């Protein structure tokens, strides 16, 4: 049972391994949404995510015999690091099965914290099946990343800290994968103050909890497809589902494109790196059907590899019309390229890439193709530049931008 006493015990216990992640007020998102927005920056947590809370509390409650058998888990990354760190702290051996699609940074950091890593399957569920096989074969103690009430209790300690710091919080937004974090956060919130509303946020490409709520029982999705790898789970935990039904007030689903924009917003406005799963609650802010409330968004983690980060930034700039590409045909004669460049410069555009194709037509005197990739301030500025090129007689055509 998830009781106030167990949450209080867990809150004391996890302080042995966690760092203080005090709420951060966000003037930018407050103004944009009409609410008083705060972030709970678990991306700044030791191991880079909240998962160390549940892992450490679970392992601390095991017997010496259970720990000495060795610990095994399956995870897309953050729980893996939490278990590796906690196991090493407790002097226990740890084995972690991770999907082959797990970002390299999460694999390497899991090894760094002392775990043996086994890569298996494309998604968490396949990795979990392998971990259970190894546990049966070798007698390891299995630590489930979410479908465990003790683990969920450890995760729920986040709510204790939120309420202590912001007693009059109205809404808490929590990312949802398998439901461990949402279970702990929502259950403790209702125990402390039934008036606190807790909204779960999950990726549209892995909305297993929403599907389960609609069906009234746990549903396993046939597949998942999302850049939010930490929440790419096919079904919520059956041990957790009754708590989620009782304590979660709503579910919001987020498209991957929204996470890309949210990443840019966090980098530019808060100078913070938040992984895609942690950005779910940031993207959800614009979907809230109310104003004037105190809202806390839990940023669940910040473990994003550099390659993914680069890709997200590029796609975000393109989505925001900060980068765009135009194609135009012009006569192949001296001065035409300079004339195009002058128009862009006069309108404060910055050319970052130029492709000049003389062979688009067999009649080079009639036309050659010029493709310009341009940096702009946003949509309005982009249209200003395109209109200026059109006024100059170049008939620009917007095409898919590539950096």
Cα–Cα distance measured from residue 97 to residue 353, given in angstroms and rounded to the nearest whole number: 43
Same domain for 133 and 172: no
Q: Which CATH number characterizes residue 42's domain?
A: 3.40.50.1100
Q: How far apart are CA 313 and CA 360, in angstroms?
A: 32
Give a yes or no: residue 308 inside a domain.
yes
Question: pLDDT 10s digit of each residue in the chain, 403 long?
Answer: 899 999 999 999 999 999 999 999 999 999 999 999 999 999 999 899 999 999 999 999 999 999 999 999 998 778 899 999 999 999 999 999 998 988 787 888 899 999 999 999 987 778 999 999 999 999 999 999 899 999 999 999 999 999 999 999 999 999 999 999 999 999 999 999 999 999 999 999 999 999 999 999 999 999 999 999 889 889 999 999 999 999 999 999 999 999 999 999 999 999 999 999 999 999 999 999 999 999 999 999 998 888 888 888 888 999 889 999 999 988 877 888 899 999 999 999 999 998 877 665 555 556 788 899 999 999 999 999 999 999 998 889 999 887 6
First CA to last CA distance, the chain:
53
Do 381 and 232 fall into the same domain?
Answer: no
Torsion of CA 106, 18, 27, 229, to 10 degrees: 20
Kindly report the number of other CB atoms within 10 A of residue 327's CB atom.
Answer: 17
Among the candidates 108, 142, 176, a domain finishes at 142
Residue 151 lies in a domain: no
My answer on whether 217 and 359 are in the same domain is no
What positions carry a catalytic annotation?
Answer: 51, 300
What was the pLDDT predicted at 232? 87
What CATH code is carried by the domain that includes residue 376? Answer: 3.30.70.260
CA 237, 238, 243, 245 torsion-angle sign: positive
Last residue of a domain, one of 142, 170, 187: 142
Tell me the C-alpha distance between 101 and 363, whole Å.
49
Distances (CA, A) of 173 to 10, 255, 288, 311: 21, 16, 10, 26
Whether 304 and 367 map to the same domain: the answer is: no
Q: Domain check: are 256 and 306 in the same one?
A: yes
- Whole-prediction pTM: 0.88
Domain boundary residue, one of 287, 316, 345 = 316
**pLDDT tens, 189-205?**
999 999 999 999 999 99
Is there a domain that residue 147 lies in?
no
Strand (E) positions, 164-278? 171-175, 197-203, 250-254
Domain count, the chain: 3
Residues spanned by the domain of 101 = 51-142
């Amino acid at each position: 049972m998830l009781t106030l006493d167990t949450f209080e015990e867990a809150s004391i216990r996890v302080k042995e391994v966690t760092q203080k992640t005090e709420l951060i007020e966000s003037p930018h998102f407050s103004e944009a949404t009409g609410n008083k927005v705060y972030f709970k920056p678990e991306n700044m947590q030791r191991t880079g995510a909240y998962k160390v809370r549940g892992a450490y509390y679970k392992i601390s409650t095991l017997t010496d015999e259970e720990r000495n058998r060795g610990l095994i888990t399956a995870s897309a990354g953050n729980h893996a690091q939490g278990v590796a760190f906690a196991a090493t702290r407790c002097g226990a051996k740890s084995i972690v099965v991770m999907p082959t699609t797990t970002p390299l940074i999460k694999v390497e950091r899991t090894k760094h914290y002392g775990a043996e890593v086994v890569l298996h399957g494309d998604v968490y569920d396949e990795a979990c099946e392998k971990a259970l096989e190894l546990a049966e074969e070798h007698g390891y103690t299995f630590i489930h990343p979410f479908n465990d009430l003790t683990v969920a209790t450890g995760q729920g300690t986040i709510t204790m800290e939120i309420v202590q710091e912001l007693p009059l919080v109205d809404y808490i937004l929590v990312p949802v994968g398998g439901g461990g974090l949402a279970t702990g956060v929502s259950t403790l919130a209702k125990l402390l103050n039934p008036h606190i509303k807790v909204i779960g946020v999950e990726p549209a490409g892995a909305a297993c909890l929403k599907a389960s709520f609609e069906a009234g029982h746990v549903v396993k999705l046939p597949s998942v497809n999302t850049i939010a790898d930490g929440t790419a789970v096919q079904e919520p935990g059956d041990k957790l589902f009754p708590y989620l039904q009782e304590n979660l007030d709503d579910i919001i689903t987020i498209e991957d494109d929204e996470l890309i924009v949210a990443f840019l917003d966090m980098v530019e406005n808060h100078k913070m790196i938040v992984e895609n799963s942690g950005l779910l609650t940031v993207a959800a802010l614009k979907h809230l059907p109310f104003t004037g409330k105190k809202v806390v968004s839990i940023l669940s983690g910040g473990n994003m590899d550099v390659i993914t980060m680069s890709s997200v930034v590029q796609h975000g700039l393109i989505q925001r019309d900060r980068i765009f590409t135009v194609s135009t045909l012009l006569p192949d004669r001296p001065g035409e390229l300079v004339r195009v460049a002058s128009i862009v410069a006069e309108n404060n555009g910055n050319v970052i890439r130029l492709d000049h194709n003389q062979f688009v037509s067999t009649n080079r005197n009639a036309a050659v193709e010029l493709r310009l990739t341009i940096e702009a301030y946003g949509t309005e500025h982009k249209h200003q530049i395109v209109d200026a090129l059109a006024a100059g007689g170049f008939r620009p055509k917007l095409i898919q931008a590539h950096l």
